[in-house]
Amino acid sequence: MDKTMKLDAANYKDLLKHYIETRDEQSLYGVEQVSKSFISNNILPEEIINLHIQALSDIYPNLSEEFQHSMDFLLEAMISYGLAHQEFQVLREEQMTMKSEISVAASMQDSLLHTTKPEIDGLDIGVISVPAHQMNGDYHHFIKGKDGSIGITIADVIGKGIPAALCMSMIKYSMESYPEESMYPKAILKNLNRVVERNVDASMFITMLHAQYLPTENTLQYASAGHEPGFFYNSETKVFEEITAKGLLLGVLPDTDYKQYERKLHKGDMVVLLTDGVTESKDGERFIEREEVLDVISQYAHLPAQEMVNRVYKHFERMQDFQLRDDFTLLILKKDV
């Protein structure tokens, strides 16, 4: 026992004796100070119990044998507690380190995958992407061409966390390296599929829908790699239609061709692109129907696109008690002229 422990032991015994005799709360304050000393000197719980037993034995040398046994039992319990507590502290420190690393990775992801929502005449764009946890497995990106066209990508990684974020950053910079004349949706997906198949772990796949809006022709060209079907809203019929576009997930087979589709957009038409975190929202224990998503979108169809997606997200966030089950990404294009 070192000098500090000896001083604390003597002080502890005096405080204990004084409290037993007087029930004076000042003694409890003194114990608080001794406890701080124990913490600063890394005194283990079983050492404190042993100190208490020794103090009692000095004060009351004729303690009953039963009481002494009970204190021995408490000492053994505290030894087990001390070992468990040490393990817990180690795990907690590792967890804090991991949280810190994930926080840094999430910040890097925001920086690497940052995209600017473009301004384009005749098209109102709204987008929201909220991760269920710190890292976002969803991805969206805009590329504005010199001819005024706009490339629009929405994707979901099957496989989350830091590897997914790194995978998405690779995809983003691959897309931005392609020459503008090869930015057609089917060409983009074919090239990205080759990149993913060669460079991404076989356990990780990516669903993606890439579209290109041509303002001079009021046309949306698009292709899908197994991505969650979105919707077209026809302003004339006031009906939502599911986007029909089929294609294999990125990274499954090396030489995959993707079919390209085309759709004319007229004033008041909308394009709704999303990830399964939207369509697989839960109301209690029940997964919602896709029609319910459209009903909510319809409620806010009169609003600007960005306010629309914000309101839709808030609706489903409240419905799920503010605990997302999956990453939530919703992108809406409104043809306003």
Nearest alpha-carbon partner for 16 in 63, 51, 68, 62:
51
Residues of the chain below pLDDT 70: 1-8, 102, 104-106, 108-109, 111-112, 159-162, 164-165, 180-182
pLDDT reported for residue 211: 96
pLDDT reported for residue 186: 94
Those residues whose C-beta lies under 8 Å from the C-beta of residue 112, and which sit 6 or more positions away, are: 165, 168, 169, 172
Nearest alpha-carbon partner for 110 in 140, 89, 82:
140
pLDDT reported for residue 222: 97
pLDDT reported for residue 187: 92
Query: What long-range pairs does 70-79 form, CB within 8 A, spacing at least 24?
Result: 74/49, 75/46, 75/49, 75/50, 78/45, 78/46, 78/48, 78/49, 79/46
The owner of tokens 């990830």 is: 275
Largest CA distance in the chain: 101
pLDDT reported for residue 107: 72
Distances in Å between the Cα of 30 and the Cα atoms of 6, 65, 242 are 16, 29, 73
pLDDT reported for residue 165: 66
pLDDT reported for residue 109: 67
CA angle 116, 200, 145 (to 5 degrees): 30
- Which pair of structure tokens corresponds to residue 7? 């001083």
pLDDT reported for residue 248: 95
Structural domains in the chain, CATH included, are 3-92 (1.10.1240.30), 113-335 (3.60.40.10)
pLDDT reported for residue 200: 80
